[in-house]
A and B are shown apart, each in its own frame.
Chain A
Amino acid sequence: MRKKNILYLLAIAFPFLLWTCVDEIKLNVDTEQRTLVVDGFVTDSLGDFQLKLSQSAVIGIGNDNILDPVSNATVQLMDTDGSTYPYTALEDGVYQLSNFKALRGKSYFIDIVLPDGNHYQSTPAALRSSSSIEDVTFEVSEETFRNNAGEFVTENLIKAKITTDVSQADPPPFLRWRVFGEYQIQEGYPGALALRRCYVKVNLDLNDIRLFDASQINGDVLYEQVIAEATYDFRFGEQFCLHISQFSISEEEFTYWNNIKEVIDIDGGLFDPPPGTVVGNIRNVDNPNDVAVGYFSVASIFFQRKFVNSDDLDFFIRPKCAGFQRFTPFGCRDCLEINGAVRERPYYWEF
C-alpha cells in the first residue's frame, strides 16, 4: 500500500490545497556531523565487486553530494566458515574484490578497519534463492504529475513491466530491481556524407527504488510489476536496450531500501511520517553507539536485457536527428558530444 503517496495526492486533492505553496526558505542547520558511509555488494554472479568508503557530506557546504573518500582502509569479505576474501584499493575510497562469486548456503559479511583503528563489520547475510524474469513488456501513456517546482506537467512516459516467477524461492523472496538504459543514435545533418552511430548509456533509475515483497502476492507469479519509468523521448526513436538486474535480497536489506525510499520521498505532505536516519547493517565492533550508514548487500541476481521496439508501441517518436531541421540538434553532427557516448557497437545489440 503506497500510503504516503496516496495521502499526499489526497491532501492536494482537497480544493483549498490547490492554493498550496511550495517554495525554498532558509533554515539554519548548523552542524558538522560526519558519519562513515559504506556502499557495496556481492552477488552469486562471478565478477569483480567494488566497495566505496567515504565520510558523509555536511549539509550546506557547497555540493552536499561530494563525499570525502576514506583511503588506506583494510577491507575484506568474510564468511561464517572463517574464510576471508581481501579487497584491494583501486583509487581513493574505492576497493575491489576480484573474481568472486557468492555461494548458496554461506553467510557473508564485510570487515573494515579504518586507518584510525575503528573496526566495522556488517551483519552476516546468507544468499537467497533467485527468481527468474519470465517476461518484460512496455507501455506508453500520458501522465500528469507534479514536478519539483510543484507544478502539474503532462508527459508521455514509458513503463517497463516484468513478470517474475517467484515459485522457486522459499520463503517468498524480497526483490529489488536496478535498470540501466542504453540507446542508439544516428547522426544526421545537412550535407552529411557518412552517418555514424553512437551508443549511449543512461541511468534510468537514479533516486528510483523499486522493491517488492513477494509474500504479498496471490499465487506464484508476479505479473506486470513496473520496474522502471522514463520520459518517452527521442532516445526511443531508434533502438533502446534495458539492462535489468533483479536482486533477491534479505528482509533486512528490503527494510533498508524501503526506509531509504521513504526518506527520499518525503515531500512535506500533511501526512508525512517524521523523518529519521536510515540505519544499515554496518556496526562498529568496539562501540555500539557508533553506527555507520549505507549497506553491504549479499544478494542473488537474475540479469536480462530487453530491447524496446517502438514499432510495437502505439506512440511514434521521431529519431532525434532524422529529417530536415533548421538547426542541427546537439549530438546530431557528432554524437560523441553526448555524455557517455561510444561508437563501438555493443556485442549484444540486436539490430
Chain B
Amino acid sequence: MKAAAFTKLSFFLILVVLSTNSIFSQESYQLGGVPKPNEPIIWTGQILSDEDQSPVINAVLQSVGGVNAITDLDGNFSIPLDQKTYRFTISALGFKDMEIQLNARSSGNLSLTLTVESVLIDEVIVSGASEQDQIKEITPGLQRLNAEQLENQSKFFGEIDILRSLQSISGVNNTGEGASGFNVRGGNTDQNLILQDGHLIFNPSHALGFFSLFHPDLVQYVDLYKGGIPAKYGGRLSSVLAVETRDGSKEKFKLRGGIGMVSSRLSAEGPIIKDKVSFIVGSRYSYADWIFNIADNPQVQNSSAFFNDVTAKINARISQTTNFGASFLRSRDDFQLGEEARFDYSTISGEAYLKQLIGDKANLTLRANKGRYQSSLFDLKGNDQSKFTNAIDYLRGKVDVLYIISDTYKLNIGADVNIYEVSPGEIEPLENSFILPDILGKEKGQELALYIENQFNLSDNLEISAGLRYTNFNNIGPNTVNIYPEDQIKTDRNIINVQSFEDGASIASYSGFEPRASVRYELNELNSIKLGYAKTYQYLAQISNTASATPIDIWQLANQHVAPQYSDNFSIGYFKNFGVKKYESSVEAFYRKSVGILDYKDFAKLLLNKHIETELVTGEGLAYGVEFNFRKQTGSFRWDANYTFSSSTRNVQPTNTQVGINRGEWYSSNYDIPHVFNLSVFKQFENRTNLSVNFTYRSGRPTTAPVSSYNSDNVLSVPIYSDRNKFRVPDFHRLDVAYTIGPFGKNMDKFDQSITLSVYNLYSRRNAYSVYFRQNPFDSVKAIRVATLGSIFPSITYNFNLK
C-alpha cells in the first residue's frame, strides 16, 4: 500500500528517518536534531493530500499517549510534545489513516501526506474498519465504507451501489432483491437514520430497491453505526448511515463517468475561483425502456421506467478559519405500466453549511437543511381513476462543536433541531373519475436534541467515550385528534369526540434522556475489547404493512395515540489481528430491546385512513445475535468473510385497548434472518485486471402460511392462516462475479478508462422473494415461489476518468 509522499524540511534541522520524499504508513520519524534542554518541543507542520498536495482540513493527529491536534483550513497544526517517542495516528475523512512513530528530540517542522481514500471511486465496497481502526476505533459496531477496496463487491447491471455493498456487512440485510432500504441487526427499514452530509434521506432507493440514490463518484466517506451510536446522532433505533460527499477539487477540472446497460453516470468538479471556491456535481440517468421494447407484450412495450438523480456541492474557503458551502440533492423515480398505472417518488433537499475553526483547539460546524420526500400513485384505469399523494417536509438545523480540551480529553457538544410536516395523504380524481377528492390533515412535529460527548484516554490502553443526548418532541397543531374511550379497543365506530388544536398548540409532547457509552481496551497492539451502549428514541415511524417498505408508505409522527419508540442497545466485541496485521478477525455480540414498536392488525387499511391509529398495535421488540468477521485486506489477493447468527422477534400483547398478535406470544419479525454468511474474494492481476467473486447465503425470511381452508359463498378455498410469521421461505444464496480490465490508456496521468464485465446470480438461483399460496377450486393448495430475479444477469460497464 504504497503512497505518494511528501516531506518538507524546516529551517531547523529535521532529520527524517526516511531519506526519500516518500512516506509510508507506520514509518518512524525523528523530529529535531540535538535535544535542547529546557526548551519546549513544538511539532509544526501541514497535512496534505497526496492527490494534489492540497491541505487537509480537520485532520486529527492523535497519539496513544493522548496528545491531540486538528489541522486548520490550511492543513497546519502545532503540537507541544515532550522529549520522547510517540506513536501517532493521523486520520481525516476521505483519507486512509496513517500511523507513524515519532521520536521528538527538539522543535521542528514535519509535514505529512495522506493518501486519498475515495477520489478514485469506481466501485464502492464495504469492509470493516481499516487495520488500524479495527483495534483502535472506540465505537463497537462501526463499519466504514472503505473506498480503497473498490472492486470486491457485487455488481448489478454493472453498477456499483452503496446499499447493495452494505448488505455484505455482517448484521445488514434486506428482505429480498428489489426491496427498498436495508435492515440492521433485525431492525425495521425506518429505524435507520440515513444522512447524506446533512440531508435527511427518507427513501434511499432507486428503482424500488435495485439501486440507491448515492452517487458513488461523489461519496467521500460512509460510516454505518450498527450499535454504539455517538451522541451526535439520534432519532432512529437501529443504526446511523452517514454518507459524506467530498468537496470538488480547487486545483483543476476533472470529469469522470460510466456508461452501463441501464444507466449512466457523470460527474464533474473543479475550481470556480482557484484555491478558493470549488464545485462538484454528479448525475445519473437510467434508460431502461429498451428492455420493455424487446418484450412480446404490447402493454409492457408501452410501459416506461426511469430514475435520475443530481447531487451538487459548492465549497468556498472564505478565510483561513472559515469554510462555507452549499449542497443540493434531487432524486426521482417514475414508472408507468401501459395505461394501467403510474407511480413516482422524489427526494429534493438543500443544505448550507459553515465550518469555523475556533483557535487551534475547536471546530464549529453549522448546518441548515430543508427537504421534501413525496410519492404519488396514479390509478389510470376504470371509473375511479385517481392520484394519491403523500409527502414529508423537513427543516433541520444543527450545530456541532468539537473541542480538544487536553491531550486526553475531547469534548463534542451540539444541538439538532428538526421540524417535520407530514402530509399523510391526498386523493384527487383524474379525468372522468367519479370519486371524491379527499385530503388528510397535515401533522407537524418539532424535535429538539441537545447532546454532549466526552472522550477520555485514561491510559495508553483504555479509552472511554461517554455521552448524553436529550430529546424533546412536540406534535403541534393545527390538527384534529380522535378521542376514544380509554378502556376500549380503538375502532372507527367508537370515536367519542374529535378534539381540535390551533396552529402551534401542543398536541402531544415527549422527551427523554439517551445515555451513550463506548469503551475500548487495547490488550496489546493486536488485540482489543470494546463495549457499547446506546439508548435511542424515535419519534417518526414509517407506516408500512408490507414485508418490504414501499415508496408510498406514509410517515407517522408520534402523537396522542402513537407513542415514540425507544430502544436499549448493548454490544460487545473482541478484535484481533494476525500476521503483523495482515489478517483481521472479530467477534461482536449485540442485544437490543425495543419498546413501542409499531405493528399492524390483520388487514390494516393504511391509505387515506382518517383514524389510522385504529389499525396500529404496539409492542416490544427483541433482537440479539453474534457476528464473526475474518478478512485479509492487504496484498493483491484479498478476501472478507463473515457469519452472523441472530434473532429478531416481536411481542404484541392483547389489552383492553388493542388486539394482540399471535395471542400475545413472541413471534419472528419480518427481518428475522437467523443465519447469514457472506464471502468476498478479490484478486488483482499484474496485467491491470482484477477479478472479484461474491457469495452470500442467508436463511429464508419469515412468512405466514395457510393451514386450513374453507368456502364462503362464491369464493372457493378461502385460506385460514397460521400464526403470523410461523414459517419461512426457502433459503437465499447467490454468487456474483466481476472482471475489470483497466485502468488503461495512453496517458493515464490525464485520462484512463476501464471496462467491467459482471455476472450477477451466476448459477441462476431462483431466490424466493416471497411465497404465496394459490387456492385452486378443485385441487390442493400450492405454494408458489416468487423470485424477483430468477435468472443470470450478465452486464458490461465502461468507465472513464479525465483527471
Are A206's CB and B786's CB within 8 A? no
Q: Contact at A60–B781, with CB atoms within 8 Å?
A: yes
Residues on the A chain within 8 Å of B706, using CB: 29, 59, 275
For chain A, residues 44 to 74, give those with C-beta under 8 angstroms from any C-beta of chain B: 52, 54, 56-65, 67
Contact indicator B715/A57 (Cβ below 8 Å): no
- Which residue from B299, B724, B727 sits with its C-beta under 8 Å from A144? B299
- Counting CB contacts under 8 A, is B602 at the interface? yes
| A266 interface residue (CB < 8 Å to B) | yes
Residues on B with beta carbons closer than 8 Å to the beta carbon of A63 = 778-780
> In the complex, A208→B777 CA distance in Å?
12
Q: Quick one: which of B111-135 are within 8 Å of A by CB?
A: none
Judged by a CB distance under 8 angstroms, whether B456 is at the interface is no
Contact status A217-B711, CB under 8 Å:
no
Chain B contacts of A224 at CB under 8 A?
Answer: 383
A263 located at the interface, meaning its Cβ lies under 8 Å from any Cβ of chain B in the complex: yes
Decide: B709 and A29 in contact? CB cutoff 8 A.
no
Cβ of B262 to closest chain A Cβ, rounded Å: 7
The answer to whether B705 has its CB under 8 Å from any CB of chain A is: yes
Minimum distance in angstroms from A244 CB to a CB of chain B: 13
Contacts of B789 in A (CB 8 A): 16-17, 19-20
**Inter-chain contacts of A57 with B (CB < 8 A):** 708-710
B708, B725, B775: which contacts A31 (Cβ < 8 A)? Answer: B708
Contacts of B716 in A (CB 8 A): 65, 206-207
Partner of B550, one of A2, A64, A154, A271: A271
Contacts of B604 in A (CB 8 A): 273
Q: A3, A22, A223, A272: which contacts B784 (Cβ < 8 A)?
A: A22
Spot the interface stretch: B360-368, B428-436, B518-526, B686-694.
Answer: B428-436
Q: How far is the CA of A268 from the CA of B654 in the complex (A)?
A: 29
8 A Cβ contacts from B298-337 to A: 298-300, 303, 305, 335-337
- Shortest Cβ gap from A115 to chain B (Å): 19
**Given A23-B785, A24-B784, do A219 and B778 touch, yes or no (CB 8 Å)?**
no
Q: Which of A196-223 contact B (CB under 8 A)?
A: 203, 205-209, 216-219, 222-223
Whose C-beta in chain B lies nearest to the C-beta of A225? B383
Q: Are B435 and A152 in contact, with the CB atoms below 8 A?
A: no
Known contacts A16-B207, A35-B710, A273-B604; A260 and B715 CB within 8 A of each other: yes
CA A14 to CA B720, docked complex, whole Å? 32
B178 CB within 8 Å of chain A: yes
A277 engages B720 (CB within 8 Å): yes
Q: Write the B543-581 contact mask toward A (1 if CB under 8 angstroms, else 0).
A: 001111010100000000000000000000000000000
Tell which of B707, B768, B786 touches A29, judged by Cβ atoms closer than 8 Å: B707
Which chain B residues border A64 with CB–CB below 8 Å?
Answer: 709, 717, 775, 779-781
Contact B718–A264 (Cβ < 8 Å): yes
**B379 contacts partner chain A, Cβ-Cβ < 8 Å:** yes
- Cα A29 to Cα B782 in complex, Å, equals 11
Q: Which of B288, B713, B772 contacts A272 (CB 8 A)?
A: B772
Q: Which of A258-298 contact B (CB under 8 A)?
A: 258-260, 262-264, 266-280, 293-295
A223 to B777, Cβ gap below 8 A?
Answer: no
The reply on B340 being an interface residue by CB < 8 A is yes
B451 close to A (CB within 8 Å): no
Considering residues B178, B288, B427, B707, which has the most beta carbons from chain A within 10 angstroms of its beta carbon? B707
Residue in A7, A218, A258, A268 whose CB lies within 8 Å of B429: A218
Q: Evaluate contact between A207 and B724: CB separation under 8 angstroms.
A: no
In the assembled complex, the Cα of A166 lies from the Cα of B288 at a distance in Å of 46
Bound complex: CA A266 to CA B771 (Å) = 10
Q: State whether B435 touches A218 (Cβ < 8 A).
A: yes
B706 to chain A minimum Cβ distance, whole angstroms, is 6
Given A3, A62, A206, A280, which contacts B607 in the complex, CB threshold below 8 Å?
A3
Taking residues whose C-beta sits less than 8 angstroms from the other chain, chain B's interface range is: 35 or more
Contacting pair A216 B343 (CB below 8 A) = no
Docked pose: A27 CA to B562 CA in angstroms: 37
- Asked if B786 and A269 make an inter-chain contact with CB atoms under 8 angstroms apart, the answer reads yes
Does A103 make an interface contact (CB < 8 A)? no
Q: Which of B10-18, B70-78, B289-297 contacts A (4 or more CB under 8 A)?
A: B289-297
B766 in the interface (beta carbon within 8 A): yes
Q: State whether A207 touches B714 (Cβ < 8 A).
A: yes
A39 is an interface residue with CB less than 8 A from chain B: yes
**A9 CB contacts on chain B under 8 angstroms:** 337, 340-341
Question: A194 contacts the other chain (Cβ, under 8 Å)?
Answer: no
A residues in contact with B780, CB < 8 Å: 59-64
Of the candidates A19, A29, A65, A144, which one forms a contact with B717 in the assembled complex, judged by CB atoms under 8 Å apart? A65
Q: Cβ of B783 and Cβ of A226 under 8 Å apart?
A: no
Per-position 1/0 for B379-397, Cβ under 8 A of A: 1001110101000000000
Whether A148 sits at the interface, judged by CB under 8 Å, is yes
Q: Does B466 contact A (CB under 8 A)?
A: no
User: Which residues in B have their C-beta under 8 angstroms from that of A293?
Assistant: 710, 712, 718, 720
B655 at the interface (CB under 8 A from A): no
Q: Does B788 contact A (CB under 8 A)?
A: yes
B 433-452 binary contact with A (CB < 8 Å = 1; else 0):
01110000000000000000
A263 to B775, CA, bound (A): 10
> Which among B295, B545, B787 has the greatest number of chain A C-beta atoms within 10 A?
B787
> Bound complex: CA of A217 vs CA of B789, how far in Å?
40
How near does chain A come to B780, taking the closest CB pair, in angstroms? 5
- Given known contacts A13-B337, A223-B434, A266-B772, A278 and B546 CB-to-CB distance under 8 angstroms: no
CB distance from A297 to the nearest CB of B (A): 8
Interface membership of A193, Cβ < 8 A = no
B741 to chain A, nearest CB (A): 25
B628 beta carbon closer than 8 Å to chain A? no
B195: Cβ under 8 A from any A Cβ: no
- Chain A nearest CB from B723 CB (Å) reads 10
Tell me if B533 counts as interface (CB < 8 A to partner A).
Answer: no
Are A15 and B288 interface neighbours, CB within 8 A? yes
Contacts of A206 in B (CB 8 A): 714, 716, 777
* A34 part of interface (Cβ distance < 8 Å): yes
Asked, given contacts A14-B335, A264-B775, A277-B720, whether A29 binds B727 with beta carbons under 8 Å apart, the answer is yes
B800 at interface by CB-CB < 8 Å = no
Asked if residues B788 and A20 are in contact (CB atoms below 8 Å), the reply is yes
Q: Is the CB of B708 within 8 A of A271?
A: no
Contact residue among B335, B338, B714, B790 (Cβ-Cβ distance under 8 Å from A19): B790
A195 within 8 A of B: no
Checking B179, B289, B341, B602 against A276 with a beta-carbon cut-off of 8 angstroms, the contacting residue is B602
A26 within 8 A of B: yes
Kindly list chain B residues whose C-beta atoms are within 8 Å of the C-beta of A192.
none
Please state if B708 and A39 are interface contacts (CB–CB under 8 Å): no
Check A56 against B709 for contact (C-beta < 8 Å). yes
Interface contact A16-B607, CB-CB below 8 Å: no
Chain B window 499-538, contacts with chain A (Cβ cutoff 8 Å), 1 for yes, 0 for no: 0000000000000000000000000000000000000000
Chain A proximity of B303: nearest CB distance (Å): 5
B776 CB → nearest A CB, Å? 8
- The reply to whether A268 and B714 form a contact with Cβ atoms under 8 Å apart is no
- Known contacts A14-B305, A22-B785, A270-B208; is A33 also within 8 Å of B708 by CB? yes
Contacts of B296 in A (CB 8 A): 152
User: Is A338 an interface residue, CB under 8 A from the partner?
Assistant: no
Q: A31: nearest residue on chain B (CB-CB)?
A: B707
Residues of A within 8 A of B791 (CB): 19, 21
Chain B nearest CB, measured from A166 CB (Å): 11
B608 CB–A CB distance under 8 Å = yes
Contact B708 A58 (CB under 8 A): yes
13 CB-based A-B contacts, threshold 8 Å? A13-B300, A14-B305, A16-B157, A16-B789, A19-B789, A24-B785, A25-B783, A39-B713, A59-B719, A61-B780, A260-B718, A277-B719, A278-B603
Top 10 nearest A-B pairs by Cβ distance? A21-B790, A276-B602, A268-B786, A15-B291, A268-B772, A27-B783, A13-B337, A37-B710, A152-B297, A31-B707
B residues contacting A by CB (< 8 A) are 157, 176, 178-179, 207-208, 210, 262, 288-289, 291-292, 295-300, 303, 305, 335-338, 340-341, 343, 377, 379, 382-384, 386, 388, 427, 429, 434-436, 545-548, 550, 552, 600, 602-604, 607-608, 670, 704-722, 724-725, 727, 730, 766, 768-791, 793
